[in-house]
């Protein structure tokens, strides 16, 4: 085999290995590429308890319950499905009922979402794009048309 042929085989092998690596990474991340799930999407997914994920939606009106210390229970809704969430810690100052929220954590075996962090919108006009898109898709968007 000539020097040029050896180089061509080496380059072809390197490209094949790179393509295989990219394919394996994309296969492993296929469910985690989504920024977050809405409660309806989560109900359809039927994920195993203990799965780490991110959910987003609105804090349901009348569903915030403050427990002892920093324990808080609330419900995240997309107006189609609801998901109970528990959180221990300080909530953002702008956290309140009817507002958009994105929550990181794990799904417990009892179906309650155990949150590690809670993100709330920062002013009246802002809502995470993914939350707004999900609400528009379900026909419950009350925004200013943007």
Which residues participate in the annotated binding site for heme?
A: 122, 126
- List the one residue out of 43, 65, 56 whose CA is nearest residue 117: 56
54 three-state secondary structure: strand
Annotated binding site: 122, 126
- Residue 84 · residue 73 · CB < 8 Å: yes
Distance of CA 18 to the CA centre of its chain: 29
All residues at 6 or more sequence positions from 115 whose CB lies less than 8 Å from its CB, including other chains: 85, 86, 87, 103, 104, 105
Under 8 Å between Cβ of 96 and 143: no
Tokens, residue 89: 């810690």
């Amino acid at each position: 085999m000539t020097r040029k042929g050896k180089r061509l085989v080496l380059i072809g092998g390197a490209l094949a290995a790179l393509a295989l690596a990219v394919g394996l990474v994309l296969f492993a991340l296929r469910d985690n590429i989504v920024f977050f799930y809405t409660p309806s999407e989560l109900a359809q997914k039927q994920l195993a308890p203990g799965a780490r994920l991110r959910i987003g939606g609105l804090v349901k009106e009348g569903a915030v319950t403050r427990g002892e210390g920093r324990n808080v229970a609330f419900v995240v809704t997309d107006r189609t499905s609801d998901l109970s969430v528990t959180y221990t810690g300080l909530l953002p100052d702008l956290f309140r009922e009817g507002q958009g929220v994105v929550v990181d954590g794990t799904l417990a075996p009892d179906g309650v979402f155990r949150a590690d962090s809670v993100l709330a919108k920062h002013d009246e006009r802002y809502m995470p794009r993914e939350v707004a898109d999900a609400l528009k898709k379900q026909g419950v968007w009350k925004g200013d048309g943007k």
